[in-house]
Amino acid sequence: MNKTVSNRLSLAQFSREILNGNTVVLAQAITLIESTRPDDIVVANELVEKLLPHSGKSIRIGITGVPGVGKSTFIESFGKLLTAQSKKIAVLAVDPSSSKTKGSILGDKTRMDELSKDPYAFIRPTSTGTTLGGVADRTREAIILCEAAGFEIIIIETVGVGQSETVVRNLVDFFLLLMLAGAGDELQGIKKGIMEMADGVVITKADGENVSKANQAMADYQHALHLFLESDSGWKPKVITSSAVENQGIHETWQLIKDYVSFAQSNNYFKKNREQQNLIWFHDTLQHLLRNKLNQSKEIKLKIKSFEKAIIDNAVLPSRAAQEIIQEFFGA
């Protein structure tokens, strides 16, 4: 079989060009792994496996915050700080709503105009598909491709208002939460669970009249973080203020991340966390594939519909219905 896809590059060409840092081919490869065509999926899997030994050497950073927190402005300032140190960074955006709206992540490249033109940076809106499982799979694979292309820092951006935060937390080494000063929980839409996942919190837009509010928010959030149970890593999350406009707090954020990485590597948590994330990837993918297999059977789909009605009518236990579906599908 000729390992070519849609008359594009061969598997060997994809691999060679990505390892050489060709970002045009990298973008094509990410498009390939997002494809749902069976022949594309085969080659995409082979490509990711081929490049897997060349991955894993980056620092993976998740950044979240509700719209209006200044996420894109912050990421651009943060990215420019890193590229000024000749560090190669890749920004991948995850937004489950984008499959319908096509709006928020596709605007990131425009909002981060300077960074998108930087030769040390690569910005990519990622396709979300229809399920969060699909998001995680493709984003994980995109991370591997970016690392193989030589990117030292991978930033995963998410909108900060839904389930995607849990998914992204399982993709990264450091999870950064951006918050606004003077905004209530309802306005920010930030759940306690997201706060508990954070390794660091940055209060944005700490400039002008907002400085005193930002400082008060920093103290409040630091106090709140102390009330949470200690994280598995043993790290105590820190809160800092920043102003991307005035370029304040950006260097401190990078130092905070470096401190965390050193801490997590010293107690072996960094390695264990990566290993655990790979196991989560395996189990998530397994569940996703099993669900797809079930949905491919017309008989099973009809039976599921029948059970759904029976469950609504309290005629059958949901657990019993699920067991019968599995028994019929596997013949066990």
- pLDDT tens digits, 9-40: 899 999 999 999 999 999 999 999 988 888 89
Tell me the percentage of the chain whose pLDDT exceeds 70: 84
Is residue 21 situated within a structural domain? Answer: yes
**Tokens representing 258?**
């470096």
Q: Closest Cα partner for 126 from 111, 113, 145?
A: 145
Joined together, the tokens standing for residue 109 give 């490249």
243: three-class secondary structure by DSSP: strand
- pLDDT attached to residue 101: 44
Could you give phi then psi for residue 56, rounded to 5 degrees? 95, 0
The domain in which residue 19 lies consists of 1-54
In a domain, 64, yes or no: yes
What CATH number corresponds to the domain at position 8? 1.20.5.170
Q: Are 136 and 249 within one domain?
A: yes
**Cα distance between residue 166 and residue 153, in whole Å:** 20
Residue 53 and residue 44: Cα distance in Å, rounded?
15
Give yes or no: residues 204 and 124 share one domain: yes
Q: In this predicted structure, what is the pLDDT of residue 190? A: 57
Secondary structure in 3-state letters for 147-187: HHCCCCEEEEEECCCCCHHHHHHCCCCEEEEEEECCCCHHH
**Residue 110 domain flag:** yes
27 lies in the same domain as 73: no
User: Quick one: 102 and 126 in the same domain?
Assistant: yes
Q: What is the pLDDT of residue 284?
A: 85
The answer as to whether 272 is a domain residue is: no
Residues 45 and 71 in one domain: no
Verify that 12 and 115 share a domain, yes or no.
no
d(CA 202, CA 218): 8
State whether 173 and 88 are in the same domain. yes
Phi, psi of 4 (to 5 degrees): -125, 155
* Number of domains the chain contains: 3
CATH number where 155 lies: 3.40.50.300
Give CA–CA dist 267/95, Å, rounded: 33
* 219 and 255 assigned to the same domain: yes
* pLDDT tens per residue across span 203-242: 999 998 889 999 988 998 888 888 888 888 999 999 999 9
Question: How many helices and strands in the chain, by DSSP H and E?
Answer: 16, 7
65 and 48, same domain (yes or no): no
Specify if 185 maps to a domain. Answer: yes
Neighbours of 119 (CB within 10 A): 8
3-class secondary-structure state, position 232: coil
Q: What is the DSSP string of 116-129?
A: HT-TTEEEEEPP--
Residue at 273 is within a domain: no
Instruction: Please report, in angstroms and rounded to a whole number, the separation of the first and last CA atoms in the chain.
Output: 37
Q: Has residue 275 been placed in a domain? A: no
Q: Are residues 300 and 158 in the same domain?
A: no
Identify the pLDDT of residue 185: 52
Does residue 194 share a domain with residue 65?
A: yes
pLDDT value for 118: 94
The pLDDT, as a whole number, for residue 1 is 33
4 found inside a domain: yes
State which residues of the chain have pLDDT below 70. 1-7, 95-111, 126-137, 159-163, 183-192, 332
Tokens of 312: 């609504």
Last residue of a domain, one of 224, 241, 267: 267
Same domain? 88 vs 223: yes
